[in-house]
Structure 1
């Protein structure tokens, strides 16, 4: 599977961009999956539901299955946070896995940057950033992509991972 990532500060537009890219990539006949890393605690379950109760009782994994989808929840408890490679190994085979986050993991990434947000650029701290998508032209040496042109960004990604 080919893997390509996105890095940027919270609120920079990573999720919105990825949401716009997926249909474009799928229209080219590609099967696409996504891994999103979060630094915050999260829970897809709800208190009071059977699955929540099973986890609270101590189950290591709870798998919910239905006619439209299935989801596996794994409690880390005292285990270390899984690496990106650990996560990739759990996915079904697809053509392209998009990754949001995992800034330090050595995969090619586009930095999403909006100067108006007031955050510094990241590319000088993370050598795997291969391009910058911004809503404003920047004075940088890396390729610059128009954040408002997901078609251009999709083609850049496809060429970068030899799927074009």
Structure 2
């Protein structure tokens, strides 16, 4: 009997709308797939239940163009031709083989989390962040960041990937 000994890792990304979550996930997924030869899966949370799956220009379509497996989950459905909400463990089982799972949203999941901000940091995210990804629009001197939270360059997918490979949770 073959046993899959691959270490499947998961990490989550949170931040306000238009902070760059989707763009960063796309860049990270492409680099993991093309340069690191990793199989990537992506789960996107749709808390307002308004996603249209695989419509050009929408996040789910952009994610699928990376070559990753993609799931969009909302309070009333999970888009993989499923008619009911699924918990994370069920979604992971449906995804099958992957090396790295990137989750957008779902800030209460017990996953290591990168919080993403541009222009200003919302301190309500502090309890959920394990790393902070920002660009030059943020003045860190204006904030009392939680101790021990590494600051990543939002525009460097290499920085983000290095953090993921060191900190992602085995699932």
TM-score, length-scaled by structure 2: 0.68
Summarize the Cα distance change of 1:32–1:120 in structure 2 as closer, same or farther, 3 Å threshold: same
Moved more, 141-150 or 102-111: 141-150
| 1:85 aligned onto 2:89 | yes
| Aligned equivalents of 2:87, 2:154: Cα separation in 1 | 28
Change (3 A) 1:144 1:18: same
Counterpart contact for 1:137–1:144, Cα < 8 Å: no
Contact map agreement 1:4 1:108 (CA 8 A) in 2: yes
Asked if the contact 2:112/2:169 (under 8 Å) is kept, the reply is: no
Shift of the 103–152 alpha-carbon distance from structure 1 to 2, 3 Å rule, reads: same
**Match of residue 160 from structure 1:** 167
Structure 1 match to 2:131? 131
Whether the 8 Å CA contact 2:111–2:168 is kept in 1: the answer is: no
Deviation of the 1:123 alpha carbon: 3.7
Residue 101 (structure 1) aligned with residue 105 (structure 2): yes
- Once residues 94 and 17 of structure 1 are traced to their aligned partners in structure 2, the CA distance between those partners, rounded to angstroms, is 19
Count, aligned residues = 132
Rounded to whole Å, the distance in 1 between the matches of 2:124 and 2:162 is: 22
Give me the whole-angstrom Cα distance separating, in 2, the residues matched to 1:144 and 1:98.
Answer: 19
- How big is the shift at 1:75? 1.7
Q: Decide which of 23, 46, 49 is 1:38's aligned counterpart.
A: 46
Distance 1:35 1:85 in 2: 12
* 8 Å CA contact retained: 1:20, 1:150: yes
CA distance in 2, matches of 1:96, 1:5: 11
- Structure 2: unaligned runs, 5 residues or longer: 1-7, 56-68, 70-78
Task: Tell me how far 1:105 sits from its aligned partner.
Answer: 0.7
Of 141, 152, 156, the match for 1:145: 152
Give the gaps of 5 or more residues in structure 1: 47-68
Contact 1:131 1:143 in 2 (8 A): yes
Tell which structure's C-alpha radius of gyration is larger.
1
